[in-house]
Chains A and B, each alone.
Chain A
Amino acid sequence: MTDTFTPLTRFAVPGRIAVSHRAAAEWQTATLTEVRRETPHASTFRFAVPAWAGHLPGQHLMLRLTAEDGYTAQRHYSIASAPDDAGHIELTLDHVEGGEVSGWFHTVAKPGDEVEVRGPLSGFFAWPGDRPALLIGAGSGVVPLMSMVRHHRARGLDVPLRLLVSARSPEELIYAREFGAETTPVFTRSAPEGVAVGRMAAAHVAPLLAEPPPGGWEAYVCGSNAFAEHASRLLVAAGQPVERIRIERFG
């Protein structure tokens, strides 16, 4: 007797794309070419990865540093850049207190340094630009969402895309200079004159879901677990179907 399993409920959504197993299996050298300060605690690191297989917005990679005694540290990082076929990728990293990898990047790394990466990984949080996207992020959770915004812009896509991004203050808002009309920032501690201060709320989310685009939104939520829980509850309360909410939690 052969039985196949059919998932019984809604979340059993597949990934958005097929994943290249070969690309994910091989470590490649990535050469740091540029460092750009984004906020007091976050910088963007640009790498040349000549054999990069390409990625879709929202995917991540694994990055590995190796010490002289062979000790290694590896972390998952979201890719910030849009796919551009130029053999370059960008990561935006917070300087995590006591972080051995982010600490190296923020205090030691300089152009010319080499690290290792494998990827891109996971097709679940990927956005090929094929359907309306409602993006909600907080802090460095905006990084994979920015890859989507940049892709949307670079390709001149006309599929609707909106970004709600939460930051403590304007100074802490990563990519502040790049945002356009698609983006609504929410400031939790301090805001420019005339802009409200407070947590992301139903008032931010509900209007977007009250008038969804044809076919509805695919929602992508990224940030800390606490933020992801909060934002996903706001989405569900506003009527977004759970099977169309994709979450990437930093941990």
Chain B
Amino acid sequence: MNVTRGFTGRPRVHHPGLPPGQYDAGDDWPVLSAEVTPDLAPADWTFRVDGLVERPHTWDWDEAHALPETAYEGDIHCVTSWSKFGVRFGGVSLDAFFHVVRPHVSATHAVAYSHTGYTTNLPLSDLTGGRAWIAFTYEGEPLAPEHGGPARLLVPHLYFWKSAKWIAGIRLLDHDEPGFWEQNGYHARGNPWEEQRYSGD
């Protein structure tokens, strides 16, 4: 351990929900997208699931909202070290979308992509079992454009760059394909509890 002379840091707050190397951002919700925030109206938003599935499908805003609505209440963690506790997103579980398209047994991974062209890769198992959503609201309000509105992917058990803003689709694959940040040196999976920030962690 390399102790920094004279560094004491913030008062220690024991929070079992805080992964290693993270701090509590409190009321802040930093925006870190690397691209121009798109001007995307709900009427222009679509979401497609295809690739290794029985029945590829594209949902529009109304069709997606006709699926059973669920909420996520919990924490989110950004690779830049902030975490945010007790947030509430409303949306639809990805399981409901997958139920329609029926993934092949050969599907093992996914690329999530945005209406901007942003991409991120995930193991399919991180998107199923009630652990991933298409989110439309935050704290009961429409999701703001800078936070990915009108709709973003939400995979809160992984670092938040996996939760693609302005989600346009998910393609199921039988192999892993690095996405935007993953090609730029970030970890393939991004589990905050194992501090998988960068490739090699």
Q: Give residues in A with beta carbon < 8 Å to B.
A: 1-5, 7-15, 19-22, 24-25, 29, 62, 65-76, 100, 104, 108-109, 113-116, 118, 121-125, 225, 229, 232-233, 235-236, 242-243, 245-251
Contact = CB atoms under 8 A, between A and B. Distances in A.
Given A100-B9, A125-B34, A24 B119 contact: no
B69 interface: no
A248 to B, nearest CB: 7
A10 B180 CA distance: 13
Contacts of B171: 3, 5
Contacts of A232: 36-37
Contact of B36 (A20, A225, A247): A247
Interface string B158-201: 00000000001001011101001101111000000000011111
Given A5-B177, A116-B2, A225-B146, A247 B33 contact: yes
Interface of B: 1-10, 12, 21, 23, 28, 30-37, 51-52, 80-82, 104, 106, 111, 113-119, 146, 168, 171, 173-175, 177, 180-181, 183-186, 197-201
A100 B10 contact: yes
Contact of B32 (A5, A9, A114, A249): A249
A174 to B, nearest CB: 21
A11 B7 contact: no
A225 B117 CA distance: 20
Which of B30, B36, B80, B171 has the most chain A CB atoms inside 10 A of its CB?
B36
A211 to B, nearest CB: 22
A186 to B, nearest CB: 20
Given A25-B199, A76-B81, A66 B7 contact: yes
Kindly list the 10 A-B residue pairs having the minimum CB-CB distance in the complex, ordered from nearest. A251-B30, A25-B200, A9-B117, A19-B185, A11-B117, A12-B117, A225-B31, A108-B6, A11-B116, A65-B4
A10 B114 CA distance: 11
17 contacts: A3-B171, A5-B119, A5-B171, A8-B113, A9-B116, A11-B35, A15-B184, A73-B9, A73-B10, A74-B21, A100-B9, A108-B6, A114-B4, A125-B34, A232-B37, A249-B33, A250-B30
